[in-house]
A = this chain, B = another copy of it.
């Protein structure tokens, strides 16, 4: 079973242009062609594209993804490097998640703040709230997110 470029584009929610661009930049491994030069994507191509999309979502650049693809093409001798790359990627993602969880605290504080402001009619009224009227978990959110 093979797929045309437009079928693949639909599956991955990319444009045809983007897929061709990826191939040109070397982030997609070799893609078979018909004798007239039309690309035919097989399961391996789809798997590679899935990996690329995944790595992109972790914030990796196409340049670095290309390095990874080159390692793949190199074969078993690059297994160790690829292993290390994925371990780094894992740590990086965990870091990103905890950063987002931190950022979320400030956003949640602001949700509370503007909820109150909407309720009381002004920002001034929220800032003049006596301290004992501010829930402890909101105070905590506030304090934990002013780290400069």
Tell whether, in the assembled complex, residue A111 and residue B86 are in contact, meaning their CB atoms are under 8 Å apart. yes
Whether A118 contacts B83 in the complex (CB less than 8 A), given A76-B123, A90-B107, comes out as: yes
A101 at the interface (CB under 8 A from B): yes
A76 to B123, CA, bound (A): 7
Of A17-25, A26-34, A49-57, A133-141, which binds chain B?
A49-57
Tell whether, in the assembled complex, residue B148 and residue A79 are in contact, meaning their CB atoms are under 8 Å apart. no
Tell whether, in the assembled complex, residue B99 and residue A97 are in contact, meaning their CB atoms are under 8 Å apart. no
In the complex, the chain B residue whose C-beta lies closest to that of A97 is B100
CB-CB under 8 A from A117, the residues of chain B are 76, 79, 83
A145 to B46, CA, bound (A): 13
Tell whether, in the assembled complex, residue A100 and residue B93 are in contact, meaning their CB atoms are under 8 Å apart. yes
